Amino acid sequence: MIALYSEAHAAHAPAFENFRGERVPCFETPQRAQIIRAQLQARGHAMGAPHVDSRSVLAQVHTARYLRFLEGAWAQWLAIDAANAGRQPFPSVWPVRTLRSDVEPANFTARLGLYSMDNGAPLVEGTWQAAKAGADAAASAAALLLAGERSVFCCSRPPGHHAGADFMGGFCFLNNAAVAAQALRQGGAQRVAVLDVDYHHGNGTQSIFYDRADVLFASLHGDPRTEYPFYLGHTDETGEGAGHGFNLNLPLPAGCPVHDWFAALDVALSRIVAFRADALVVSLGLDTFAGDPISTFQLEAADFLRLGQRLAAARLPVIFVLEGGYAAAELGVNAVNVLDGFEQVCA
């Protein structure tokens, strides 16, 4: 399997984040991608670099003003005060119910709040560079699939599935899974399925495709009544307008047994097969691992091998896009187990 990797991801390396009221070291670090790359190389997977500029697809996934803000955010932060080079900006006000979001404020912190769903996506100087490289990897993966490759893995970060059309959040800035799906559609795939197996619901991906019938979104995740992102991911969210019936949420309780998790996966895969998708994008969250520090599901290393085998049984060309997973020591083994399980069935 071809794995796409760019060193540009390391430019996004925030020193800290705010977690449950405390300032803590970031869970989402450059080491995540580096550990996975080392395991990919150790097991003989072919490594490549992104080769497609994603800007045209990004403009179809995200709004123009959000992209403009995100690309220029660090320069705007420094323009306020040169000393800001040593500070991480965080939003402090958000346009919630009754407040307007159609008028972009002149104040930087207010703009940051306008384009954020939470304070969990810390910006640094290299954030745009890293996020754009991840989107380029997703667009490149789509080009490879359209050219005949069976599967491609985007070993990129920061993750993307919490990023919506006009907002960042949950470590995510640009929605790589959505970029991959849109690039596949733009390249000729009639129907694309996105399967999100991250512990946390892919609220951004759902919202981007919620009114469309050409992209099916299916997700199994922690119950949003108790788990982040809390405000999306319920079973009654089935799509709207043309997209009605093309959104499937399978929320699971904290501590969900492995058997129940795989039963939900089978439901999602059955819906994808019935959809007659031409290609599948997998938002590959690995925070379902039993040892993950911010999640509660119970998958072990061997279960990720099994996950890859189940995905291969759908007999679809697949783009795997790295999302969450914060048990750094085990991350490489778990990620590559999915890919190897997939390859075993497809060989």
| CA distance readout (Å), 129 to 9, 99, 156 | 7, 32, 12
From 12, 62, 161, 162, active-site residue: 162
Dihedral sign of CA atoms 2, 325, 321, 91 in order: negative
Dihedral sign of CA atoms 167, 321, 34, 49 in order: negative
Dist. CA 325–CA 194, nearest whole Å: 18
Instruction: Please give the backbone phi and psi of residue 97, each rounded to the nearest 5 degrees, phi first.
Output: -45, 135
Dist. CA 233–CA 201, nearest whole Å: 6
Beta bridge partners of 220: 250
Active site residue 201: no
Q: Which of 75, 94, 91, 83 is nearest to 17 (CA)?
A: 91
Dist. CA 280–CA 289, nearest whole Å: 22
Dist. CA 67–CA 82, nearest whole Å: 23
Catalytic residue IDs:
162
